[in-house]
Amino acid sequence: MAKQKTKFMCQDCGYESPKWMGKCPGCNAWNKMVEEIAPQKSSRRLTYTTTLSTEASKPQKITSVETKNEARIPTKFSEFNRVLGGGIVQGSLVLIGGDPGIGKSTILLQVSSQVAEANHRVLYISGEESPKQIKLRAERLGVESDNLYVLSETDLQYITRYIEEVNPDLVVIDSIQTIYLSEVTSAPGSVSQVRECTAELMKLAKTKGIPIFIVGHVTKEGSIAGPRMLEHMVDAVLYFEGERHHTYRILRAVKNRFGSTNEMGIFEMKELGLEEVLNPSEIFLEERPVGVAGSTVVASMEGTRPVLVEIQALISPTSFGNPRRMATGIDHNRVSLIMAVLEKRVGLLLQNQDAYLKVAGGMKLDEPAIDLAVALSIASSFKDKPTSPTDVVVGEVGLTGEVRRVARIEQRVQEAAKLGFKRIIIPNKNFGGWTIPDGIEVIGVNNVGEAIRHTLGQ
């Protein structure tokens, strides 16, 4: 009997090595190399022939390729449709990741119910729960439909057989780490199993035109477990984010072949399941304090939607040799950069001050248009002077203290006017080419010093 060959594979990035190493050369992770049995050559390998039978396999001029809109299955969640680009695309493979208990299975069961109620056949496959457990959760969510089928199975060969028997219009697999292929000798959840099972599901989705949603576990760093190749194989990658102590959940697309990757959907977790939030700006500002120093409202763009969010800052004298800089929801390096600009260009002595910044509501902001709001929050807390509760601030700050133009300024101003704000501070370069809505005053500034004088009076 031939000796079985083994190899060591990183469980984070999929790097292969003939010997064990403590640190993976691919992703620099420690203690992630696991021994696996090398796969044997199989007769299932694809064979390529010299005859090209189908028209689609022949080279074509790009000008002669015919395009058409993808067939989509809409759901009752407009937020879910927005993130996917308009609905569920037939034949697509979508990966959803998120922390344990965040609500991945809940939202997929609710979406399955909505698709089933629209006379589409749905197959919900769980490798972690029994049909009785799925039924208990369905009763709590009010899910009842004869077009919704449930299955508890982990063997991919049986799963593909049941998919052919049921012939569903949508398949949900929860989760990919529990599914295994018997021809692969490694354990379920390993890099080899996840890669091979995802490849088989992708082939099934493309050949039969069935949209498939697969749930992926996440690592302690927040990324989807398994090889990085997994995200390249699927058509869309969605992250379900949120804090366990908040009821709001954010569905964000980081990859989407059928839509924008900047879209975001907001849901609220309630006793009867998830409910979509149609106006997130009101939610993030409903508990905003009035007349408190260090609070500024910014109009941030999440995809094509403007969202008004509160940025809070607390500046206090330090008791350490090196002052602390802490930020939640904002990049820590950006906060240090803006504080250096305020100290050098505006004259605020911040080198002996601790700085704590936070985006209220658990949001994460990473666009440059929030720079001016961060600067004004820091200046307001340092001077202990509150900004006006009816002001909104938008602008990018350069290293010389100038305020640069931002994109989609008209949508930001309209959102501020719709929520009752009376004044908005924008870059002076953003004037022109758009109409100012009624009921709001628009002030243009050229540098951070002008913005501080308009908002704090100095």
126 plus 211 within the same structural domain: yes
Residue 123: in which H helix or E strand, if any?
Answer: strand 122-126
Residue 221 reports pLDDT greater than 60: yes
Burial label for 64, CB within 10 Å (0-12, 13-18, 19+), is: exposed
> Is 102 annotated in some ligand binding site?
yes
Phi, psi angle pair for 330, to nearest 5°: -130, 150
* CB neighbours of residue 252 within 10 Å: 19
Question: Looking at the 3D structure of the chain, how many domains does it have?
Answer: 3
Whether residue 383 is contained in a domain is answered as: yes
Query: Does 188 belong to an annotated binding site?
Result: no
Q: Which residue has the higher pLDDT, 324 or 190?
A: 324
Amino acid (one-letter) located at 453: R
Q: Is 105 annotated as a binding residue?
A: yes
* 80-135 confidence digits (pLDDT tens): 999 999 999 999 999 999 888 889 999 999 999 999 999 999 999 999 999 999 99
Angle between helices 448-456 and 371-383 (to 10 degrees): 50
pLDDT score of 34 more than 60: yes
DSSP state of 155: B
426 is in an annotated binding site: no
Kindly give the interhelix angle for 156-166 and 191-208, rounded to the nearest 10 degrees.
20
- DSSP helix/strand/coil, 179: coil
Say if residues 374 and 312 touch (Cβ distance below 8 Å). Answer: no
Q: Give yes or no: residues 265 and 366 share one domain.
A: no
- Report whether 99 belongs to an annotated binding site: yes
In a domain, residue 289? The reply is yes
- Does residue 130 sit within a domain? yes
The CATH number of the domain holding residue 404 is 3.30.230.10
Is 265 annotated in a binding site? The answer is no
What was the pLDDT predicted at 363? 82
131 is in an annotated binding site: no
173 & 89 share domain: yes
Q: What is the per-residue pLDDT across 133-181, written as a single tens digit (0 to 9) for each?
A: 999 999 999 998 999 999 999 999 999 999 999 999 999 999 898 999 9
145 with 27, same domain: the answer is no
Q: Specify whether 269 is located in the same domain as 293.
A: no
Q: What is the mean pLDDT of residues 416-438?
A: 93
Note whether 246 and 369 are same-domain residues: no
Verify that 311 and 403 share a domain, yes or no. yes
- Among candidate residues 278, 309, 332, the one where a domain is terminated: 278
Host domain of residue 17: 6-37
Phi first, then psi, for residue 429 (nearest 5°) are -70, -15
Give domain status of residue 49, yes or no: no
Whether 274 and 287 share a structural domain: no
How many CB atoms are located within 10 Å of the residue 18 CB?
9
> Are 269 and 349 within one domain?
no
Encoded tokens for 78 = 């407009």
For the cut 70, the answer to whether the pLDDT of residue 223 exceeds it is no
User: Does residue 258 lie within any of the structural domains?
Assistant: yes
* Residue 51 pLDDT grade (very low, low, confident, very high; cuts 50, 70, 90): very low
Residue 4 pLDDT = 67
Say if residue 251 is in the same domain as residue 308.
no
Among 245, 278, 311, where does a domain finish?
A: 278
Query: What pLDDT does residue 245 have?
Result: 66
Neighbours of 200 (CB within 10 A): 16
**Across 205-218, average pLDDT:** 91
CB burial of residue 58 (10 Å; 0-12, 13-18, 19+): exposed
Q: Give the relative orientation of helices 104-117 and 131-141 as an angle to the nearest 10 degrees.
A: 80
Reported confidence tier of residue 45, pLDDT bands at 50, 70, 90: very low
- pTM for this predicted structure: 0.76
Q: Give the CATH number for residue 122.
A: 3.40.50.300
Last residue of a domain, one of 236, 253, 278: 278
Q: What is the mean pLDDT of the chain?
A: 88
**Same domain? 252 vs 300:** no
Tell me which of 204 and 263 has the higher pLDDT.
Answer: 204
**Is residue 389 included in any domain, yes or no?**
yes
324 and 257 inside one domain: no
399 occurs within a structural domain: yes
Position 62 in a domain? no
- The pLDDT of residue 398 is 96
